[in-house]
Amino acid sequence: MLTSILSWTWIGSGLLLIVLVLLHSPKGDGMGGLAASGSSMFSSASSAEATLNRVTWTCLAIFLSLAVILSAGWLG
């Protein structure tokens, strides 16, 4: 029962993680942007981006933790 609940939570967190990564805005022009201007690369993120980053990292931590727990077979 617990394994089933955690499995569904793992699947849901994986799907949510995909959506969250797709919501991020592109950060520049790739490798070509490195030579253009260094100051624009290190500008501070807005409040919405900071919140999105925090939620994405939290979802990633949940996803990876559940992956380890479910694959190790610690629940029986």
What is the total count of domains within the chain? 1
Average pLDDT rounded to a whole number, residues 52-74: 96
| Residue 71 covered by a domain | yes
Task: Check whether 42 has a pLDDT greater than 60.
Answer: no
Q: Indicate the average pLDDT of the chain.
A: 85
| Residue 6 covered by a domain | yes
* DSSP string of 39-57, one letter each residue: TTTTPPPPHHHHHHHHHHH
| Residue 12 covered by a domain | yes
What's the rounded Cα separation, in Å, for the pair 12 and 8? 6
Residue span of the structural domain in which 2 resides: 1-20+47-75
Q: Which of 12-16, 43-47, 66-70 has the lowest mean pLDDT?
A: 43-47
| Residue 27 pLDDT class (50, 70, 90 cuts) | confident
| Residue 56 covered by a domain | yes
| Residue 31 covered by a domain | no
